[in-house]
Structure 1
Amino acid sequence: MSMRGEARPLFDNAVDISKLKTCWFWCAIREKKVGVQWHKILWFPLHIPKHAIISWMTILDRLPTKDRLLRMGLVIDTRCVLCGDGIDSRNHIFFDCVFSRLLWEGILRFCNIHRAYSCWEKGLLWVIQHLKGKSLIVYILKIS
């Protein structure tokens, strides 16, 4: 609120500067963007912050996978540490790796969902279309 003087030109002269609220200033200066489709599958009531942040980083392809570290100039072995086959990337970790493929098959079978695993983009699109911010358990009950 120490910046009330600088904020004054952003508002009508009719606004009493002593009643100026921080949220008005924030709304006036922030850049407004269109929301993303995946917002509700990450940020919902009672979400686990650590899981949501890791998922957010994954969706934005910001995980420090070996392929990203190599692009940043680090000289490293890019092979997947789980299977030793393929380049460690977001798509490999979640879909191409033998271990992740077996894990997805087991999870989907357990949830009685009959769908083949695919690439990251198609998997995210499926989750957005089918879960819409609901838990997998709600989805399972709905299709049962």
Structure 2
Amino acid sequence: MFILPVNVTADIERLMRDFLWSNGEFKRGKAKVNWADVCRPKAPLDACWSLRKILHIRSSVAGFIVKQLGNGTSTSAWYDNWLPCGPIGNIISYRDLYEANFSKKEVVSDIVGNDVWNVPNEWLDKYRIIFDNDPPILVNNKDDVCKWRTMYAKLTSFSVKVAWQDLCDEWVDVKWAKLVWFSQCVPRHSFITWVALHSKLKTPDKYIVVNHQFAQGCPFCLTQKASHNHLFFKCDYPKGVWNYFKMLGNLDFAPDEWYGIIEFLEKRPINKSIWSIIQRLILGACVYYVWQEINLRLFQNKSRPMNDLVKIIKKTIMLKLAGLTIKKSRQTKPTFELWNLKENGDFGLNLNDD
């Protein structure tokens, strides 16, 4: 209901930035993604703004607000937007209004009568952009109505949704948004995947070489440049992890490199089916745990066999699936068997004891 003070919102945003980028400690850190991009919606949405907020941007809103004339008695002759050229008070000088014995209070019915302009004759030549238009036809028993003119010049009733869509910057829909953010996702997996999709994970190829460890490149093969595309999932170790879950995720024809995988998944149906959910869980979990393994090798000199990492990822996804309520379908039975899950009544899943 009330606009927060600037200092309060700045402090809140600082806390959120520190939480995301400062390794769990509230200290100044280097952000990997611009804060303006962090705050952008995943797709153009019908986000809701209060009328009070709109009033703060009234200069931007004014051109969209149009008066549709009825009897012309509630529309300002000078300041409302009722002609194609816009408010005529922006064109006619105040001196001319004063010399013609007009005030600022006239309504449209004061300057239009019997389908003619009731204005000084010299105005007809001086302000042709206005008065070359035929005067509006007023209807005595009809009220003036305030309308919203969209960016496509369509007159419609005002709504916050329509205003938001017209006033916000035009953003191209993010095709991969639903691959990352969905109701069944694991948030920490989605966050790392989101950063990876912005190519902002600090992979070894982005480090300034300060020791031989980073000079070695990929922490798995030690020979190739450790780029996003190599680490997810062209290198043998992450590729082996990815190929294992391609079989479990009905992704037999998916590529083995980052950009190809994302393009492949974008073209597949993204919905609430069991396979769609599993495929997105696999993507997030594989990216998250491969990234975790990369950091273990770089910073802690630890490593895990591929089979161990596969078991961790599989167990994580199974636990997530076991907590979901899933309707039976032709797809569910073979899925349960493949993932070693059992039905719990008509809905829901449990892990098998074995």
How big is the shift at 1:60? Answer: 1.7
Deviations 1:12-43 (A, max 9, x none): 3669xxxxx99888656531212021111112
Task: Specify whether residues 111 and 53 from structure 1 end up closer, same or farther in structure 2 by C-alpha distance, changes over 3 A only.
Answer: closer
In structure 1, the partner of 2:247 is 109
Q: Which has the higher mean CA deviation after the structures are superposed, 37-46 or 23-32?
A: 23-32
In structure 2, the partner of 1:7 is 57
In structure 1, the partner of 2:223 is 85
In structure 2, the partner of 1:31 is 169
TM-score of the superposed pair, with normalisation by structure 2:
0.32
State whether residues 67 and 87 of structure 1, in contact with CA within 8 Å, keep that contact through their aligned partners in structure 2: yes
TM-score of the superposed pair, with normalisation by structure 1:
0.69
Cα distance between partner residues in 2 of 1:31 and 1:132: 26
Task: Specify whether residues 111 and 34 from structure 1 end up closer, same or farther in structure 2 by C-alpha distance, changes over 3 A only.
Answer: closer
State whether residues 242 and 256 of structure 2, in contact with CA within 8 Å, keep that contact through their aligned partners in structure 1: no
State whether residues 105 and 117 of structure 1, in contact with CA within 8 Å, keep that contact through their aligned partners in structure 2: no
- What SS does structure 1 have at the residue aligned with 2:252? coil
Larger Rg: 2
How big is the shift at 1:88? Answer: 1.2
Deviations 1:80-127 (A, max 9, x none): 122323111101111221111111121112335422633211111111
How big is the shift at 1:137? Answer: 6.1
- What SS does structure 2 have at the residue aligned with 1:51? helix
How do 1:1-144 residues align onto structure 2 when only pairs under 5 Å count? 6-9=56-59, 10-11=61-62, 12=65, 29-69=167-207, 74-76=208-210, 77-78=214-215, 79-115=217-253, 117-133=255-271, 134-136=276-278, 141=331
Cα distance between partner residues in 2 of 1:27 and 1:117: 37
Select the structure that is richer in helix: 1
Cα distance between partner residues in 2 of 1:121 and 1:29: 33
Task: Specify whether residues 85 and 52 from structure 1 end up closer, same or farther in structure 2 by C-alpha distance, changes over 3 A only.
Answer: same
Cα distance between partner residues in 2 of 1:6 and 1:75: 49
Q: Which has the higher mean CA deviation after the structures are superposed, 85-94 or 1-10?
A: 1-10
Over aligned residue pairs, what C-alpha RMSD do you find? 3.2
For structure 1, the 5+ residue unaligned runs are 16-20
State whether residues 7 and 25 of structure 1, in contact with CA within 8 Å, keep that contact through their aligned partners in structure 2: no
State whether residues 82 and 99 of structure 1, in contact with CA within 8 Å, keep that contact through their aligned partners in structure 2: yes
- What SS does structure 1 have at the residue aligned with 2:170? coil
- What SS does structure 2 have at the residue aligned with 1:135? helix
State whether residues 80 and 87 of structure 1, in contact with CA within 8 Å, keep that contact through their aligned partners in structure 2: yes
Select the structure that is richer in strand: 2
Cα distance between partner residues in 1 of 2:278 and 2:178: 13
Cα distance between partner residues in 1 of 2:184 and 2:256: 29
Greater relative contact order: 1 or 2 (C-alpha under 8 angstroms, separation 6 or more)? 1
Task: Specify whether residues 24 and 37 from structure 1 end up closer, same or farther in structure 2 by C-alpha distance, changes over 3 A only.
Answer: closer
Q: How many percent of aligned residue pairs carry the same amino acid?
A: 21
Cα distance between partner residues in 2 of 1:63 and 1:111: 25
